[in-house]
Structure 1
Amino acid sequence: MTYKTLIAASTLALFAGTAASADTWRYAFEEAMDEVQGQFAQKFKEEVEANSDHTVQLFPFGTLGESTDIMEQAQSGILQFVDQSPGFTGALIPEAQVFFVPYLLPQDEEKLATFFEESKAINELFPPLYEEQGLKLLTMFPEGEVMMTTTEPVKGPDDLNEVKFRVMTNPLLVESYQAFGATPTPLPWGEVYGALQTGIIQGQENPAFFIESTKMYEVTDHITRTGHNNFTTAVMANLDFYEGLSEEEQTVVSDAIDAAFDFIIDYQEGLTEESLEKIKEAKPSMTITTLSEEERQPFMETADEVEQEFLEIGGDQAQEILDQMKADLEAVDAGS
């Protein structure tokens, strides 16, 4: 157990009375309370508390450390629930890096929601992989179109040449931005604003709501919509904790997750455009560019290269998961 995890355990004991309190479930996530993961968590809390005697304590980003810290705390049982992007769990579960193959996920929000709800890859193939890491995968959901924010305009891969671009600590995301022409620079989120401000890095990627709420527009000048991905996150429970719940309690958790999933999909309708409007109001000089299909083509041509890298580093089930995801996406297209 790391020093930060020991400190977190002490902090949680102060919050909860005792770390083993059966009636209090602790849930940490990577964003603020008013951001997408926070909204999901609050809906989950509301549903659990309305349908059981349990209470849910929420710990937004920074409360208990960085993403690596809260994952360790969830695995060790200090936390009962954690919401974390596969961008960080990719080191534990290499197959989860599939979500960083560019241009794999659909841009249509309705199709995307259907995919996450019905995907056999997500609902059948991923859970055993998470269980091997002491985690119960409860759901995955999309958080919004990923956009680049940079200090210089981007119209194609040549514009990313020698640009130090912050990425999550994920090997495939590093590969993806190398293929895009940039110099990928893994950094914990807490260091990104300062690194952009001081010129250590010149770009980063995130959904529009996160760019707006974290004020990334203050330290960059250009937003580019390349359509290359949608931010994915996963809600997990500590496996021992979950398996120790009664059948009735597991149903409470499952129902709360389902309600929160439906809520967060509705919540995100129009959120991207609303967030971009707020950014323009706050900084009128900010340019927001949506690349045309022709302009996106050089980026799209890198997808095969990144996909092949995923098959090399994505774990024993990389091929099976990639094939199933593609089949799932085809099924969504066929049903639309």
Structure 2
Amino acid sequence: MNKSTTFRKIVGASTLTLAAAIAATSVANAATWRYAHEEYDGDVQDVYAEHFKDYVEENSDHQIQIFEFGQLGESDDIMEQTQNGILQFVNQSPGFTGSLIPEAQIFFIPYLMPTDMDAVVTFFRESEAINEMFPKLYAEQGLELLQMYPEGEMVITLDEKATSPEDLQNKKIRVMTNPLLSETYEAFGATPTPLPWGEVYGALQTNMIDGQENPIFWIESGGLYEVSPNLLFTGHGWFTTAIMANQDFYEGLSEEDQKLVQEAADYAFEKIIDHIDGLADESLAKIKEASDDVTVTKLNDEQIEAFRERAPQVEDAFIEMTGESGKKLLDQFKEDLKEVQNN
């Protein structure tokens, strides 16, 4: 064997060794990240999660493992697991986060948000309250807020038709474990009844409660119309949710991976806005087709005003619960919404 052949073999072996080392390093740096949300397969949060997963996996060696509602417990359970670092990502609505971050309850002040989808989406894109103030509040609880997004207009379901606050008198309405949402239904004349989601269908079926509220796609996918068939559109708010990461996990990522996560959250936001466009109408059509017992009541302006005039007492309760921080957030919310509506 001559020297040149020996040299080529040594160089070749060294190249293979280097390539193997690079491949091993790449595999070693790849991770499986765990992501839990509050809804079922095919629901809005699940669709968002799948788009987030697709972006991460198409642009890195990382993998995303998604857990749907119930697989790791109720909403409180998955938040605790995220704060403890067992989960890297969690998608949870302010309805449950509100007990941890009182200011997040702002979304449950009735008639604060517009009902027009274009205005709602623009608000989430441009709001200073959403994009600058909320991340700081979440950070105080060890959470990196990645994105807030709307899921749909809230609809009340009841055991009988209603058109006024007087019709809700003594009605036991299920609410999330959220103090301000209880204030809202007290203002509406009902008796708020906090219940975890897993108990809602059975409680409606056995008349332990008389109604509940959710976006229409959730009423359809969860079959709530089967046991609570009278749908009431009051125009009082939109269901909002948020994806967040364990802050220690996020801050421990490389700059490249932090950028990846942020881009995945933004990508999924754009996809979910397309997804929810028309979703409410589709879901309502499915409900009507599935049941002849369903009634749909959409309040006129005069009827809505009877509910709307009770909203200020909920605002007062929000400020009392959250203090100066909440007042500043509410003022910014209103300023952001005014700008959206003016434009």
- Partner of 2:270 in structure 1? 262
- Partner of 1:139 in structure 2? 147
Aligned pairs for 1:1-336 (under 5 A) are 23-335=31-343
Name the SS of the counterpart of 2:183 in structure 1. Answer: helix
- The one-letter code sitting in structure 2 at the alignment partner of 1:212 is E
Name the SS of the counterpart of 2:33 in structure 1. Answer: strand
CA contact (8 A) 1:94 1:315 kept: no
- The one-letter code sitting in structure 1 at the alignment partner of 2:211 is G
**Which deviations, in whole Å up to 9, do the C-alpha atoms of 1:175-194 show, x marking residues without a partner?**
00000000000000000000
User: 2: distance between equivalents of 1:331 and 1:34?
Assistant: 34
Shift of 1:285: 2.1
**Which deviations, in whole Å up to 9, do the C-alpha atoms of 1:276-310 show, x marking residues without a partner?**
01000010220011100111111000111100110
- Partner of 2:18 in structure 1? none
User: 1: distance between equivalents of 2:122 and 2:256?
Assistant: 27
Are the structure 2 counterparts of residues 72 and 22 from structure 1 closer, same or farther at C-alpha, using a change threshold of 3 Å?
farther
Shift of 1:33: 2.1
- The one-letter code sitting in structure 1 at the alignment partner of 2:325 is Q
CA contact (8 A) 1:48 1:54 kept: yes
TM-score in terms of structure 2 length = 0.91
Shift of 1:330: 1.1
- The one-letter code sitting in structure 1 at the alignment partner of 2:243 is V
- With 118-127 and 164-173 compared, the bigger mean Cα shift is at 118-127
Name the SS of the counterpart of 2:170 in structure 1. Answer: coil
User: 1: distance between equivalents of 2:229 and 2:98?
Assistant: 30
- The one-letter code sitting in structure 2 at the alignment partner of 1:74 is T
Name the SS of the counterpart of 1:140 in structure 2. Answer: strand
Percent identical across equivalent pairs? 60
- Partner of 2:15 in structure 1? none
Shift of 1:333: 1.3
Name the SS of the counterpart of 1:249 in structure 2. Answer: helix
C-alpha RMSD over aligned residues: 0.9
Shift of 1:128: 1.3
User: 2: distance between equivalents of 1:232 and 1:173?
Assistant: 13
User: 2: distance between equivalents of 1:157 and 1:189?
Assistant: 25
Shift of 1:122: 1.0
- The one-letter code sitting in structure 2 at the alignment partner of 1:179 is A
Larger Rg: 2
User: 1: distance between equivalents of 2:30 and 2:225?
Assistant: 43
Shift of 1:51: 0.5
- The one-letter code sitting in structure 2 at the alignment partner of 1:93 is I
Are the structure 2 counterparts of residues 79 and 22 from structure 1 closer, same or farther at C-alpha, using a change threshold of 3 Å?
farther
CA contact (8 A) 2:33 2:87 kept: yes
Q: State the 4+ residue runs in structure 1 displaced beyond 2 angstroms.
A: none
TM-score in terms of structure 1 length = 0.93
Shift of 1:220: 1.0
Please list every run of 5 or more consecutive structure 2 residues that lacks an aligned counterpart in the other structure. Answer: 1-28
Shift of 1:22: 6.1
- The one-letter code sitting in structure 2 at the alignment partner of 1:272 is A
